[in-house]
Chain A
Amino acid sequence: MPRVLAPRFWGVHLLAAVAVGVAAVLGFWQYDAWQERRAAEARDLTRLEPLPLDAVLGPDDPFPGDRVGQPVLLGGTWLPDATVLVAGREHEGREGYWVVTPIAIGAEDGPALPVVRGWVASQDAVPPPPEGYGELVAWLQPPDPAGEPDPDPDDDVLQEVRIADLVQRVDQDLYGAYAVATEPMDGLEQADLDQLPEVSRFTALRNLLYAVEWWFFGSFALFVWWRWVRDEAMAEPADGAPVGSGA
């Protein structure tokens, strides 16, 4: 049996295993805290005071990258004829549809913003779209990038919220964005945000730095243990007295 496996050294091996294990666990704990605090911060940003739409985004503006998930106040005329469904949207683990109706901001022929009114499990359960003037608070979202092609471009079911697809269904210009109603409308369930706000790079950075520290100390304990094993194994004195030192 190798000398380092002698029962009188078991305590050392146990100590090393405990030290490495504890450091690894504490590192993961800090890492989780880092991720969780960033997610919480992102959710907090969606609870900001709503701003009027024109304070955030003009009809011809590119989407402002720092306004993902910004709550905006919308007021205008619903365009019920342009209502579409967007397939493949999850809500509480179930797949269903988003119900999207554009709203013409300001005047009836003003530029329109597609609004996700809510989520529905089946195409048959879609409530009738709203008509006339409406006001609501909604989270601003950038449009989906061009992705999978629509298998049936002639029906009212889309695969993505794409401005290029929606613009064919209305007579006016569309904003380069869409919005998700913060309160689901008439008979629909809440549509979950596709994209949460981007949090600062420095948010909860401290937790990440602590995580790295813990993993470093775990590696260091492993290194010290390995040095000790190597020294003990090399010592191998005739009288069996320990020669190697080290913590």
Chain B
Amino acid sequence: MTRLFTTYRVLALIVGVLLAFCSLVALPTKYLATDGSSLQQFGEDASILWVAHGWVFMVYVVVAFMLSRAAKWTPQFTILALAAGLVPLLIFWVERQVAQRLRAEHPELA
């Protein structure tokens, strides 16, 4: 479970950063910046990272699900952990919750 836990944390970090960047930087610059400006173009180009987010999120979902089985999470907490990859910034909080829970129940994870 140690490796699963580490994998989960790395993926959570990547998904969180990509989602935060896409939704808080790429999205506003693409739609709010003046049409044709270099800022707007940057938002347009940066939007390709949505695809990266989607594909890393697929892996995240699988790993989070495996972890939820191994750690016997409740369905509610499992759904929260899976959906966290879709709400900007939520995943950083969820990841800390996950870490706290796992460390409380499995002291060997440190």
Interface residues of A (CB under 8 A from B): 206, 209-210, 213, 216-217, 220, 224, 245-247
The residue of chain A having its C-beta at the shortest distance from the C-beta of B72 within the complex is A245
Is B36 an interface residue, CB under 8 A from the partner?
A: no
A94: shortest Cβ distance to chain B, in Å?
Answer: 43
With A220-B61, A246-B75: A210-B54 Cβ-Cβ less than 8 Å = yes
Main secondary structure of the interface of A (DSSP, over half): helix
Contact (Cβ within 8 A) B55 A217: no
B19-47: CB near A (< 8 Å → 1, else 0) gives: 00000000000000000000000000000
Which 8 pairs between the two chains have the least Cβ-Cβ distance? Answer: A247-B78, A213-B54, A247-B75, A209-B51, A247-B79, A216-B58, A206-B51, A245-B75
Contact (Cβ within 8 A) B65 A224: yes
Contact (Cβ within 8 A) B79 A209: no
The residue of chain B having its C-beta at the shortest distance from the C-beta of A206 within the complex is B51
Contact (Cβ within 8 A) B65 A209: no
The residue of chain B having its C-beta at the shortest distance from the C-beta of A246 within the complex is B75
Contact (Cβ within 8 A) A246 B78: yes
Is B82 an interface residue, CB under 8 A from the partner?
A: yes
Is B73 an interface residue, CB under 8 A from the partner?
A: yes
A218: shortest Cβ distance to chain B, in Å?
Answer: 12
**B51 touches which one: A210, A216, A220 (CB < 8 A)?**
A210
Is B10 an interface residue, CB under 8 A from the partner?
A: no
Query: How far is A247 from B73 in the complex, measured between Cα atoms in Å?
Result: 9
The residue of chain A having its C-beta at the shortest distance from the C-beta of B52 within the complex is A209
Query: How far is A247 from B79 in the complex, measured between Cα atoms in Å?
Result: 6
A206: chain B residues within 8 A (beta carbon):
48, 50-51
With A206-B48, A209-B54: A217-B61 Cβ-Cβ less than 8 Å = yes
A220: chain B residues within 8 A (beta carbon):
58, 61-62, 65
B105: shortest Cβ distance to chain A, in Å?
Answer: 15
**A213 touches which one: B58, B65, B79 (CB < 8 A)?**
B58
B103: shortest Cβ distance to chain A, in Å?
Answer: 21
B62: chain A residues within 8 A (beta carbon):
220
A20: shortest Cβ distance to chain B, in Å?
Answer: 15
B61: chain A residues within 8 A (beta carbon):
217, 220
Contact (Cβ within 8 A) B74 A245: yes
The residue of chain A having its C-beta at the shortest distance from the C-beta of B83 within the complex is A247
A224: chain B residues within 8 A (beta carbon):
65
A210: chain B residues within 8 A (beta carbon):
51, 54
B58: chain A residues within 8 A (beta carbon):
213, 216-217, 220
The residue of chain B having its C-beta at the shortest distance from the C-beta of A244 within the complex is B75
Contact (Cβ within 8 A) B51 A246: no
Query: How far is A176 from B83 in the complex, measured between Cα atoms in Å?
Result: 58
B69: chain A residues within 8 A (beta carbon):
246
Query: How far is A216 from B68 in the complex, measured between Cα atoms in Å?
Result: 19
B73: chain A residues within 8 A (beta carbon):
245
